[in-house]
Amino acid sequence: MNKEVLGTNKYALLSSQSQDIIDIYSDVFSSVEGSLTTVVDNDVESIINIAVNQLTPSNEQILELNKFRDAFNYIESVIDPEKLNFTITKAVDDEICINHISKNGVSKIIIHEDGMIAQSFVAFNGVDKKDSIEFYEGNIQYQQLAYKFFL
């Protein structure tokens, strides 16, 4: 038996077969877009706003999160938004971690409290991709890094 779990992903809710349901959810989502209390929204703005307000990032981390917000918003506008599923967590050593799980493995963007950026990828067993970690400073191309993160 193949059971699909839709959860509260707004894009899954909007894929209903009923036009009445689509209209109701569209109205709700348009009125709460970007709200910090929206639990049914998993868009870039909401996820980053919650991280900034709940994880107490440093000023440098907030600057970097805002740069990733811009890059992720651009990517969200040109590819399937459902591929942008990510979470943001805070590590024990105060690093902010942007996490993405794909069919190939786990990608992570790590923002150190001084603003230094690292991007890592760890492949799942049996996946023919190399694990990697790269460090970035200076003139970072955020859109390119974001594309790499989500692929």
Confidence of residue 37 (pLDDT cuts 50, 70, 90): very low
The residue among 149 and 151 whose pLDDT is bigger is: 149
Sheet holding 132-136, edge to edge: 87-90, 96-101, 105-111, 117-123, 132-136
CB 110 within 8 A of CB 120: yes
Residue 78's pLDDT is what?
Answer: 82
Q: How far apart are CA 77 and CA 143, in angstroms?
A: 12
pLDDT in tens, 43-59: 788 889 889 988 999 99
Residue 113 predicted with pLDDT over 50: yes
pLDDT at residue 66 is higher than 90: yes
Q: Please compute the mean of the pLDDT values over residues 139-149 and round it to a whole number.
A: 93
Q: Are 120 and 105 in contact (CB under 8 A)?
A: no
Statement: residue 81 has pLDDT above 50 = yes
Closest CA relative to residue 49, chosen from 66, 32, 64, 61: 66
Distance CA(15)–CA(54), nearest Å, equals: 31
